[in-house]
Amino acid sequence: MAEEKININGLEINYKIAGQGPAILVLHGWGGSSDSWIEVQRILSKDYKVVVPDLPGFGRTPPPPQPWERKDYVDFVLSFLNDLEIESFFLVGHSFGGSISIMLSKRCPERIRRLILIDSAGIKPKPGLKTRIIFWIARIGNAVFSPRHLKRFRDTARNLLYIFLRNRDYVKANGIMKETIKNIFIEDLLPELSGINKETLIIWGGADRILPPKYGYIMKEKIKDSKLEILPKIGHSPHLEVPRKCSEIIMKFIKEDL
């Protein structure tokens, strides 16, 4: 397994590449990196060329120059693929990487052989009563902290709100990435799912508390040519919790196309 760097539009991108054969592109989740896919990459690379980039703002790749939206990450992935001269590939996306994969499959379906979504983000949850109350409080908070002498407390208050909402990704993010995650949260890809025309495998941890399995069932219903595999007692990251099992499921699905 080699660790390489490539310059994409002024950003020095770190990525791992291993193996020979048909290409598999893996897009990691928010807060992840190519490091979190080492074991799965090792297993898959026995029969395939597996490429795992550190997306901008993660791992050993610096953040983008300004806050990005999902479409900017899609543009980046296409530039990355073109620079590596990868024309046809199997696409694996986990969580945030899954949402990028959904958009990518709409942008260039002719290049994607099959799509694998693992505990994928992209469906914006409908706010429950507690969430609506909290955001009402947040509106009041913005007014309360608007005076100049109180503005320095606004970020702390906002972080406490996101902790209460269990959105620790926002709290951990800094600078540009904090604005980037805000951009991403407002997007809902539910209307895009019915337009995916690639054979799709959806893998979901049955005990995922970050993105509960109900979202996997929704994706299965909306994506026409798809199948869903629920992994009992597994959380949000099957590739870390059961890498061999995850790899076997992916390989079985890929081999149906070969």
Lowest mean pLDDT among 18-32, 100-114, 167-181: 167-181
What pLDDT, on the 0 to 100 scale, is given for residue 175? 83
Distance, CA of 219 to CA of 227 (rounded, Å): 9
Q: What is the pLDDT of residue 127?
A: 58
How many CA atoms does the CB half-sphere of 196 hold within 13 Å? 31
Query: Which tokens hold the place of 153?
Result: 């407390």
The burial class, CB within 10 Å (0-12 / 13-18 / 19+), for 36 is buried
Query: What are residue 16's DSSP bridge partners?
Result: 3, 52
- Average pLDDT rounded to a whole number, residues 49-66: 97
* pLDDT interval class at 138 (50, 70, 90): very low
The C-alpha atoms of residue 238 and residue 247 are separated, in whole angstroms, by 10
pLDDT at 257: 78
| CA–CA distance, 75 with 222 (Å, rounded to integer) | 25
Beta carbons of 51 and 26 less than 8 angstroms apart? yes
Residue type, 203: I
Q: What is the DSSP letter of 95?
A: T
Whole-angstrom CA distances from 24 to 94, 111, 197 are 13, 12, 19
Query: pLDDT at position 131, please?
Result: 43
140-144, 155-159, 161-165, 186-190: range with highest mean pLDDT: 186-190
Share of the chain above pLDDT 70, in %: 81
pLDDT of residue 204: 98
Q: Which residue has the higher pLDDT, 245 or 151?
A: 245
Task: Give domain limits for the chain.
Answer: 2-124+189-255, 129-183
Q: What is the pLDDT of residues 207-220, one digit of tens each?
A: 999 999 999 999 99
End-to-end CA distance of the chain: 24
Please name the CATH architecture into which domain 2-124+189-255 falls: 3-Layer(aba) Sandwich (3.40)
pTM value is 0.85
Q: Where are the alpha helices (DSSP H) in 15-150?
A: 38-44, 70-83, 96-107, 129-144
**Residue 10 in this model has a pLDDT that exceeds 50:** yes
Q: Which two tokens stand for residue 114?
A: 């099959």
Tokens of 99: 């949402």
Cα(54)–Cα(45) distance, rounded to whole angstroms? 18
Output phi, psi for 223, to 5 deg.
Answer: -85, 115
Distance CA 23, CA 87 (A): 9
Distance CA 36, CA 56 (A): 15
Q: Chain-wide mean pLDDT for the chain?
A: 87
pLDDT reported for residue 144: 41
Question: Which pairing describes strands 11-18 and 49-53: parallel, antiparallel, or unpaired?
Answer: antiparallel
User: Order of strands across the sheet with 11-18?
Assistant: 2-8, 11-18, 49-53, 23-27, 89-94, 112-118, 200-205, 226-231
